[in-house]
Amino acid sequence: MKKSRIRVLVAKPGLDGHDRGAKVIARALRDAGMEVIYTGLRQTPEQIVETAIQEDVNVIGLSILSGAHMYLFPRIIDLLNERGINDILIIAGGIIPVEDIAELKKMGVREIFTPGTDTKRIVEFIEKNVS
Amino acid sequence: MSLSKQILQGDSRAVAKLITMVEDDFQSAQRFLEELHPYCGKAIVVGITGPPGSGKSTVTDQLAKYLRRKEKKVGIIAIDPSSPFTGGAILGDRIRMQDLATDKDVFIRSVGSRGHLGGLSRSTQAVVKIMDAMGKDFIFIETVGVGQSEIDIIKVSDIVLLIVMPGMGDDIQVIKAGIMEIGDIFVVNKADRDGTDRLIAEIEMMLHLEKKVKSWEKPILKTIGTQNIGFDSLWMEIEKCFHHLEASGEMIQRRKNRTRKEIYDLLQESWREMFFDLIGEDHLEKEVEKVSRQDDDPYHATERLISIFKENLFKRGE
């Protein structure tokens, strides 16, 4: 009764129309016993942040293939900061060039999982980093 | 400021946190629910149920938008099934409600059923209460996709909509006994599809056979969720139904039943905890062992556990 379940928002910011990867991740997290809120394609940063608040998630997983991550991720992080939220773990995946990774991490994206990552690694990372 | 005060002022973060607490650790949440209780009872609770794929989320989305145009505040509890094996869940009802996400006067919470049967989650009633206290005028509860017996929704709602769709094989299979009886209003969604008229005819026939216990004649409405067609008339029927239930005294009865269920559930929960606390897990496991080995039957095992319970209860009383 007193065990808390990890809740994860899997979100697809921006305009790309492919969510196969996001769905694979959602499924893997579900199989690891997490509650995954999936909101579908083409989410604005505002939608993502508001959903994360209402759903009281521990983790936001951002999946992006369009290349707009350097624009959209900081916007999401700014919005979270504006609302005074600092207890949500932010991770990302998709097509993200290596040279952007360091900068994204500096902004507050805790880990970036590029194509080919074993889903087990993602599960472990979440379990280890959600307090 | 206290959590309850924040909730009464409509702070969505505070609401979200308390819902999590209710789901994970009801006992800690209880004192906040006590504080909120006096402010509850104003919202109208609409249950939305029906088989998987009938369009519950889309109908909920359209009704919420309709109410927003009338400047009503809306809460939505969207329940999806949890895996019985891992306890995990994919909660995807928000996919159909994207436009509502940034509306400050709409609060949506996705909930996993977490092993609770009946189409709801164990904490649904408490979540309704929290949204009621935060000032929502209308609260929608969207059940998991139901089959033939998940009818808990009537125990927590003022009004229940049963959403069905044409073309699901033998149409009447999806609305057998139980499910068929709980709808105050029938909604045939996806009404642009073949088989709509036949489905309506079959529902009508069934309703004629149903014994009329109340004077409310259950209406059947057509909607096309994805095109926003039919929702003005649907809402008019919902209002009509609500007024009818109020005038006939049925609403008071329903709310009383809801209170009864709430107390009953709480009793059962504390009773169960007290019970297992007093018999101890060792005794229980020992009996499981014994019966599994065919050394005894479960009926005697239960009797022995109850005597242990009674014994320990008296001991504790002394």
Contact state of B89 with A30 under an 8 Å Cβ cutoff: yes
How many helices, marked H, and strands, marked E, lie in chain B?
A: 12, 8
- Complex ipTM value: 0.92
In this model, does residue A1 exceed pLDDT 50?
A: no
- Least Cα separation, residue A29 to chain B (angstroms): 8
Nearest chain A Cα to B24, which residue? Answer: A4
Chain A residues closer than 8 Å to B88 by CB: 29-36
Q: Domain A7-129 belongs to what architecture?
A: 3-Layer(aba) Sandwich (3.40)
Mean pLDDT of A23-51: 94
Contact state of A55 with B13 under an 8 Å Cβ cutoff: no
Chain A residues closer than 8 Å to B273 by CB: 1
CATH fold for the domain made of B42-248: Rossmann fold (3.40.50)
pLDDT at B44: 96
CB–CB contacts below 8 A, A to B? 95
pLDDT at B104: 93
Chain A residues closer than 8 Å to B25 by CB: 1-2, 4
Q: Strand B106-112 relative to strand B89-91: parallel, antiparallel, unpaired?
A: unpaired
Chain B residues closer than 8 Å to A85 by CB: 13
A35-47: string of b/e by CB count within 10 Å (b at 16+)? Answer: bbbbbbbebbbeb
In this model, does residue B175 exceed pLDDT 60?
A: no
* Mean of pLDDT over chain A: 92
In this model, does residue B168 exceed pLDDT 80?
A: no
Q: Which of A5, A40, A43 sits opposite B87 (nearest CB)?
A: A5
In this model, does residue A2 exceed pLDDT 50?
A: no
Q: CA-to-CA distance for A94 and A21, rounded, in angstroms?
A: 8
Q: Please provide the distance, in angstroms rounded to a whole number, between the alpha carbons at the two ends of chain A.
A: 18
Contact state of B19 with A56 under an 8 Å Cβ cutoff: yes
User: What ranges do the domains of chain B cover?
Assistant: 42-248, 263-317
Contact state of A47 with B16 under an 8 Å Cβ cutoff: no
Listing DSSP states for B196-254 in one string gives HHHHHHHHHHHHHHS---SSPPPPEEE-BGGGTBSHHHHHHHHHHHHHHHHHTTHHHHH
